[in-house]
């Protein structure tokens, strides 16, 4: 997988609301390439989620019950057939895809207030995308790690250099070119 492919995968995973992501995940689920997600294909992917849930000690919802929920969510034009057009129209494709691909997000959605889902559908105000929220969270983690590393480095140099070792570079034997390694365990 190339770096560009990885970036598209990450964006598609974190923001399943965009048209590009909806198309990407549809292609992943459409195993036979006929442009329709059959009940067989939905069951195939849900079985994987069930195995993950059972490993975690969670009793999965029977497929028939889940299928009814997903069809109510998507409201396909033709019974028993979910098309790309249906998913783009329903505005809840992210919930649909997370049900089949992302166990953590599926379980989060299952724990949510049922009225919050309806509020999401009706809310037309500009909110940050799932990708924007993900990027902001990752940035906060990075900043916290960086400030923690800086504090650790500043603290080790302020305490004194008695724990530091000085090594000369073996290739040249030049004593002016020295590498300092700090013992951070002290």
Q: What is the pLDDT of residues 43-97, one digit of tens each?
A: 999 999 999 999 999 999 999 999 999 999 999 999 889 999 999 999 899 999 9
Q: What is the pLDDT of residues 168-180, one digit of tens each?
A: 444 444 444 444 4
Q: Which is higher by pLDDT, 130 or 174?
A: 130
Average pLDDT over every residue of 119-140: 67
Coil, strand or helix at 180 = strand
Q: What are phi and psi of 78, to 5 degrees?
A: -115, 130
Q: What is the mean pLDDT of the chain?
A: 79
Question: Residue 186: which residues within 8 A CB-CB, separation 6 or more?
Answer: 156, 159, 163
CA distance 69 to 65: 6
Specify which residues 146 forms β-bridges with.
Answer: none
Tokens of 122: 């009706």
Task: Report domain extents, the chain.
Answer: 9-127, 132-181
21 pLDDT above the threshold of 60 = yes
For the ranges 2-11, 120-129, 131-140, the lowest mean pLDDT is seen at 120-129
At residue 171, the pLDDT reads 47
At residue 186, the pLDDT reads 44
Average pLDDT over every residue of 12-30: 90
* 116 confidence band (pLDDT: 50, 70, 90): low
CA atoms within 13 A on the CB side of 64: 0
* 165 confidence band (pLDDT: 50, 70, 90): very low
Q: Which CATH superfamily is domain 9-127 in?
A: EF-hand (1.10.238.10)
151 pLDDT above the threshold of 90 = no
For the ranges 35-44, 121-130, 165-174, the lowest mean pLDDT is seen at 165-174
Question: Residue 87: which residues within 8 A CB-CB, separation 6 or more?
Answer: 22, 26, 74, 93, 96
């Amino acid at each position: 997988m190339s770096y560009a492919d990885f970036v598209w995968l990450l964006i598609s995973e974190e923001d399943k609301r965009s048209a590009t992501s909806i198309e990407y995940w549809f292609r992943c689920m459409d195993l036979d390439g006929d442009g329709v997600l059959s009940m067989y294909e939905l069951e195939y992917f849900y079985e994987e989620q069930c195995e993950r849930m059972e490993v975690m000690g969670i009793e999965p919802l029977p497929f028939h019950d889940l299928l009814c929920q997903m069809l109510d969510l998507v409201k396909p034009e033709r019974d028993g057939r979910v098309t790309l057009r249906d998913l783009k129209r329903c505005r809840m494709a992210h919930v649909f895809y997370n049900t089949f691909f992302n166990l953590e997000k599926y379980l989060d959605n299952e724990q949510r207030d049922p009225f919050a889902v309806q509020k999401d559908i009706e809310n037309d105000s500009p909110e940050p995308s799932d990708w924007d929220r993900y990027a902001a969270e990752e940035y906060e983690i990075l900043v916290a790690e960086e400030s923690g590393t800086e504090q650790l480095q500043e603290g080790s140099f302020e305490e004194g250099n008695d724990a530091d070792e000085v090594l000369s570079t073996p290739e040249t034997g030049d004593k002016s070119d020295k590498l300092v390694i700090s013992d951070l365990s002290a």
